[in-house]
Amino acid sequence: MFLKNQPQDQQHQYQHFLKIVGSLSNLYSDSKTPYLYYRIAEKLFCRAFKADDLSRGDVSADAKKDNIGIGLKTFLAKNNKTFQKVAEFNGDRNSYVDLGNTKLIRKIAELRNTRISFTEHIHQIQSSIYHCILREEGKFKIFESNMDKIDIDNIQDIKKNPNTITFNDDINDYSFSLSKSTLLKRFDSTNFDLVLDEFDINVLKDPLLTLQECFTQNERESIFLTDAQIEQTIYLPLYGRGMKVFEKSGLNQWNAGGRTRNKSEVYIPIPNAIHNNFPNFFPSRNQSFLLKLPNGGKMKSKICQDGGKALMSHSNKELGKWILRDILDLQEGELLTYEKLALLGIDSVRIDKISNSEFEINFSRIGSYENFKESYLDN
């Protein structure tokens, strides 16, 4: 597990942060059970434990510390055996919607396991866990469990209900929602060995008045670690027209004719609509900038080709080695297809602009570019 292996001062700071935020619960609810918004929980965790925040990356883990991936969750304890959402497969619906119950569940399990492996691969994670904050009347409990892959060969007790299919693999109980395309896992916190900490939350009766007094006294130090200042964000497709990865361009550029090419030579397509609607997002053509990768590495990159239609690394094989070999695990000479991307649940990348000389790249779930196009691109 994670929590008890962290320095004592970080554990104390984490608890302190949670007590502060929990004390403000009456800003949102009159319940005797303290409230904790999941996005705030993610920020507190990463701040206290100096962990990498992965929550914007559409991956299975919300944070990473050293070589451990952490899925962060907060929910009501209830009977301490509640089902909670762990994955969504709406973009993969066509691959399983017409299958029978057993084949459908095996497909969902395959997709789930692939997503966990993909996350661990791109972020160089060796093991993954869930870190959960359970909310009870007047207190928080901290509970941790493994983020297990589903044992596909041991799936059993498949039961169809009107809108769900339940099953287990002799390790965990699962429930798949047919209408929402979401997989839920039972979190059993009745095992006291997995409850690592619990503490009372003193909920303020009038938190707004307390906050006002703090600001009046000029005590304005924020408890949150601010993200790197992101100037702007766009999404780029990893495919071409017709939702197709073309055989001789884009991520298969290495297969194009005309000259001898390295088997890792690729580029990420930049549609004209990106330049038309965000003309100052990227630097000028062939002007170098740093592209920060999800694993923390940085790649010297540039905008290339006529009309600035290509995002490439300075060494035209470095980007391809990272995407095709390190991430997608393709062999040299193996064509990338949209189906391969769909299996991983991705078809786009998110590009965050930090400055004109520094950008960040993260993989994004299926439909991210199309949604961005519909909302922000005029042509």
Distance separating alpha carbons of residues 156 and 102, to the nearest angstrom: 9
Give the residue among 361, 362, 347 at the shortest CA–CA distance from 289.
361
CB 237 within 8 A of CB 336: no
> Rounded distance, CA 30 to CA 253, Å?
58
Percentages helix, strand, coil for the chain (3-state, rounded to 5) are 30, 30, 40
Write down the residue that tokens 């942060």 correspond to: 17
The encoded tokens of residue 207 equal 């938190």
Non-local CB neighbours of 192 within 8 Å, separated by 6+ positions: none
Q: How much is the pLDDT for 343?
A: 86
Q: What is the tens place of the pLDDT at every residue in 123-163?
A: 999 999 999 999 999 999 999 999 999 999 999 999 999 89
Mean pLDDT of 271-292: 94
Q: What is the pLDDT of residue 348?
A: 95
- Domains within the chain, CATH numbers bracketed: 3-216 (no CATH), 232-376 (2.40.330.10)
Give the pair of three-digit tokens for residue 311: 């995002």
User: Using one digit for the tens of pLDDT, what is the confidence trace for 220-264?
Assistant: 444 444 445 889 999 999 999 999 999 999 999 999 988 889 999
Predicted model pTM: 0.80
Mean pLDDT (the chain) is 91
pLDDT band at 116 (very low <50, low <70, confident <90, very high): very high
Percent of the chain with pLDDT over 70: 96
pLDDT digits (tens, 9 = 90+) for 40-84: 999 999 999 999 999 887 889 999 999 999 999 999 999 999 999
For residues 178 and 135, what is the distance between their CA atoms, to the nearest angstrom? 28
